[in-house]
Amino acid sequence: MRTVTSAGDAIKGLYSTIAGGPTVGFEGRYSPFNQVPAKAIDNNLSTKYLNFGTTSTMNALVSNPGKNSGFYITPNVGVSLVNGVRFATGEDFPERDPLTMTFEGTNSTNLNASSVWTLLYNGSTGLDSIIPPARSSYGNIATFTNNVYYKSYRLLVLTQRGIQDSVQYAECQIMEFY
């Protein structure tokens, strides 16, 4: 097993985007300034990526504001085979934990509206959906079958644990199992 992503990879935050469709909204819907997408792959459990998704507002308590939010990333390792993803929880607010996701790959060079994304996984993030895991801790690895190498990947959160103003996670490891 190896982690395909690392700090310094090109990553963009997303919102209002559905699996298989074009990237609709990118950047600008996370806050504060130190909780940006790059924090999801910095190998530091004390930082986090926070995305307001469709709400775009702090303290707007709604159901599933993080739906269809996430990121796309182009790993510096180059074209890679991915068949696993593992999340770590943020340090506060269990209601913000991502519970289900989609994961896609592409070899396109334009990752915004004109990209064609191939669905690789649709399911659990590996975080327990009944009992919130400890804060700043890893969940189980969500594994899936894939035998195609891709240049870039897109992860979208579909549901989260509870009612809050955003979705958050400390880390998201994108992995290859040998």
The contacts of residue 10 (CB under 8 Å, 6+ apart) are: 73, 74, 76
**What pLDDT score was predicted for residue 52?**
87
Please report, for residues 5, 59, 127, 134, 152, the alpha-carbon distance to residue 79 in angstroms, rounded to integers and kept in the order given: 11, 40, 28, 34, 8
**What pLDDT score was predicted for residue 78?**
96
69-74 vs 152-160, strand pairing mode = antiparallel
**What pLDDT score was predicted for residue 56?**
64
**What pLDDT score was predicted for residue 57?**
67
**What pLDDT score was predicted for residue 23?**
86
**What pLDDT score was predicted for residue 109?**
87
Tokens of residue 134, six digits: 């400890």
The Cα 133–Cα 124 span in angstroms is 14
**What pLDDT score was predicted for residue 29?**
60
Residue linked to tokens 């074209």:
79
Cα diameter, the chain:
43
The Cα 111–Cα 12 span in angstroms is 10
The Cα 42–Cα 95 span in angstroms is 23
Total-model pTM: 0.94
The contacts of residue 63 (CB under 8 Å, 6+ apart) are: 163
Split the chain (178 residues) into runs of 10 and give each run's mean pLDDT. Answer: 96 92 74 87 96 75 85 96 98 97 95 88 98 97 97 97 94 93
